[in-house]
Structure 1
């Protein structure tokens, strides 16, 4: 049997593109200035997200907007983000495929409904540790109030979901806390890094139930069941065509495990992953 040589085919099969959002496809003006992004002059910026008041918050440079437009036209673009179901609504981009949200705790189908078999799996994993998450919330609140250097500068946000998409077929569950997010009001990243080191001492068997991810002014305390990699693996195994190629991009160390499931992956030329590689 002779192995054929490659011949071009006009019938294009769209690959899957699994993409992180914040700091990968767009970023705030503060980061645009800090990173000195090319083609990010004010006349070239495209609004990508808004804040809770509906005001522009994050932007794409001209190059990023061109890249995103190419992704929309040439790939089956799948969102993989830490944003939850409320936060993703403030992203003003025309997504039309699967969405992996809340660090992987939520998967939405192309019509915006929750993927029921995944959501039942996540509910079963999260329900038993609600007490631990409540205890952590209380302990972190006390830690913030008792901090001698800058009390009350830690902003704690529990991310909660009912795992109910509102349809008759959706699972109807009480709301559960999925993970805890902490920011520093004055953007003191070192304080968050120090807190990440202290967290395992605040609650017994912390490491058994949780892991911590820190990226700049974002600290996330996540149950082991919640991970972008777990959700992407579920999609690849159960819902995506295994004959289609896949690639993706992400900016943070938390993205790397899901990216490694794909055929090809990369990172933007700035951000946590890039800095880690550059340091090595």
Structure 2
């Protein structure tokens, strides 16, 4: 048997593009300035997200907008983001495939409905941790109200189907610093294991820029993407993806090809390990 040589084929098979959103496809003006991104003159910016007051918050450069337009036309674009179901509604971009939300705790199908099997799995994982998550929530809620505290605490909660009822469960806890003091968040992360019993056994901590997330080990983009690849995505179709943070790397490594923007946490980590030319 002779292995054939490659022949061009007009029948294009669309690859899957599994994409992180914030700081990968768009970012705030503050980060545009910090990273000195090209094609970000005011007249070239494209609004990508709005805040709770429906005001422009994050923007795509002209190059990012061109990339996103190419992805929409040439791939099946699968969203993989830390944003929850309310936050994703403030992203003003057209998505029409699977969406992995809330660090992987939520999977929405193409028609925008919760993926039932994954929802039940996450309920089974999260329900036993509610007491510990509530304990941590109370600690941070009290601390954030105290005089002089610069921490902004947000519990991320969603409804999970269990039998014939929907239950509200805390998925993870997010903390920001009012003055964007990254070191203060790192210092806080080091103290977390002392706050609840078996913290490291049940939770992990992700710190990126001004975001500290306390997540159950069952909640990870990697787990949700693996579920999609194993059960719902066509294994004959190629896959690639991009992400900007260290938390993206495990899901990216499940794909055929992956990369990162030339800014952000993952890029900085790699750059620090490479010898300059």
TM-score (norm 2): 0.96
How has the CA–CA distance of structure 1 residues 171 and 221 changed in structure 2, closer, same or farther, with 3 Å as cutoff? farther
* Superposition pairs of residues 92-131 of structure 1, within 5 angstroms: 92-131=92-131
Partners of 2:56 and 2:4 lie apart in 1 by 52
Partners of 2:164 and 2:199 lie apart in 1 by 29
Partners of 2:112 and 2:233 lie apart in 1 by 17
1:203 Cα deviation after fit: 1.4
Structure 2 counterpart of 1:186: 179
CA RMSD of aligned residues (A): 1.3
Identify unmatched segments of 5+ residues in structure 1.
165-169
Partners of 2:62 and 2:114 lie apart in 1 by 33
2:79 is equivalent to residue 79 of structure 1: yes
TM-score (norm 1): 0.95
Contact 2:144 / 2:153 at 8 angstroms: preserved in 1? no
1:142 Cα deviation after fit: 4.1
2:12 is equivalent to residue 15 of structure 1: no
Contact 1:116 / 1:171 at 8 angstroms: preserved in 2? no
* Superposition pairs of residues 70-219 of structure 1, within 5 angstroms: 70-144=70-144, 151-163=148-160, 172-219=165-212
Partners of 1:55 and 1:175 lie apart in 2 by 29
How has the CA–CA distance of structure 1 residues 35 and 171 changed in structure 2, closer, same or farther, with 3 Å as cutoff? farther
Structure 1 counterpart of 2:47: 47
Q: Deviations over 1:210-230 (max 9, x none)?
A: 000000100000000100000
